[in-house]
Amino acid sequence: MDLKYSELEDLLADWGEPSYRAGQIWEWVYKHLTDDFQSMTNLPKELRRKLEESFYIKTLEPVETLESADGSTRKVLFRLLDGETIESVFMLYQRRRTVCVSTQVGCPIGCSFCATGRSGFRRNLKPGEIIEQVLHFARETRKNLGNSMKPITNVVFMGMGEPFLNYEATIQAIRTLNDQKGFNLGARRFTVSTVGIVPGIRRLAEEGLQVELAVSLHAPNDEIRDRLVPINKGYPIRRLLIACQEYIKRTNRRITFEYVLIDGVNDNIRHARELASLLGDMLCHVNLIPMNPIPGVSMRPPPKHRVLAFEEELKRLGISVTLRTSKGADIQAGCGQLRLRNL
């Protein structure tokens, strides 16, 4: 799964195999979701043996799985071949089956309210390690749904790590899962979330991919954002919003701004008005997220009445806004919490 389709074709050509074998293997992995070379029954036995000697299909080992009480959220801690661990989350909504994937082992950003950064940064994930998180849940879901429905409807790059600091692998994973010959998940079914890496936003605007972009803003001014998101010192809000405006102009696509509400930090009416003033003329949507409590961190979500007041003030000022439904709080579904506990 680290190979692009063209690279798989080239490899098989070097092995003296006809080019159509690449399509057969691609279908087995991404359409039939097989995890075993021997089940690829339309391939010659010798080719299956050679593939088995040269490649892995499964490299992620589930170490721990937690399921929410209502059955709508499942979180898995995976061990990689080198012993590192990552988290992925499967979320079941009324019409959507969403996988939240990680792009790095740990995270170098160090946001003060996020558990992932507290465990440090180890390395970038390979394209196949990102893809395999999706296929793991796709295989599990297909057992329940059969072949009549797509097992996964959405993929969000909102797990451990900053996708734009592992840009090439992230984009390759999207293009592979989007490929009509295989998994065939529509481009608009992907959401890439960035903490505000300006060069990454500009690169994505040039990709020609119709994916959704989410920007983790979390503050209406640099003073607060410097405390919450250290990278703001390199990409302050004004510079970030200029890149966002350029992205909208280039793609004609709406941006979602994610805003984690933290009690006594960024959650009063004045902050809501300041945020509305920043975003008032942009093609955008605000996603309000009450903070997930983290053991050992003093920050907490605001009381419900203050969350609702913040939301209502944004609506009054003409900002498109939704309040994210909390899922999986009982299984530490917040990013990085399960891995941090295991470490």
Sign of the torsion formed by the C-alpha atoms of 127, 133, 138 and 143: positive
pLDDT at 149: 80
Strands 97-100 and 154-157: parallel
Which member of 87, 132, 162, 212 is catalytic? 87
For position 258, what pLDDT does the model report?
97
Q: Looking at the domain covering 5-54, what would its CATH class be? A: mainly alpha
| Res. 147: pLDDT tops 80 | no
Does residue 64 have an active-site annotation?
no
Distance (Å, rounded) from C-alpha 343 to C-alpha 341? 5
pLDDT of 146 > 90? The answer is no
Domain edges within the chain:
5-54, 61-342
Active site residue 84: no
- On the question of a common fold for 5-54 and 61-342, the answer reads no
Model pLDDT, residue 329:
58
Cβ atoms within 10 Å of 4's Cβ, excluding its own: 13
Summarize the confidence of residues 114-119 as an average pLDDT: 76
In the structure, what pLDDT confidence band is assigned to residue 292 with cuts at 50, 70 and 90? confident
Residue by residue, DSSP assigns 220-289 as SSHHHHHHH-GGGGTS-HHHHHHHHHHHHHHH--PEEEEEEE-TTTS-SHHHHHHHHHHHTTSSEEEEEE
Instruction: Report the CATH fold assignment for 61-342.
Output: TIM Barrel (3.20.20)
What's the CA gap between 300 and 309, in Å, rounded?
Answer: 17
Half-sphere exposure of 104 (CA within 13 A, CB side): 23
What is the rounded CA–CA span in Å between residue 106 and residue 89? 15
Question: From edge to edge, which strands make up the β-sheet containing 255-261?
Answer: 61-67, 73-79, 85-92, 97-100, 154-157, 190-194, 212-216, 255-261, 284-290, 321-323
Of these residues, 100, 111, 244, 335, which one is catalytic? 335
Distance of CA 201 to the CA centre of its chain: 15
Q: Are 185 and 177 in contact (CB under 8 A)?
A: yes
Residue 32, SS3? coil
For 7-32, write each residue's pLDDT tens digit: 999 999 999 999 999 999 999 999 99
- Residue 87: which of 253, 292, 290, 316 has the closest Cα? 292
Query: Counting every residue, how long is the chain?
Result: 343
Average pLDDT over residues 308-335: 82
Distance, CA of 276 to CA of 280 (rounded, Å): 5
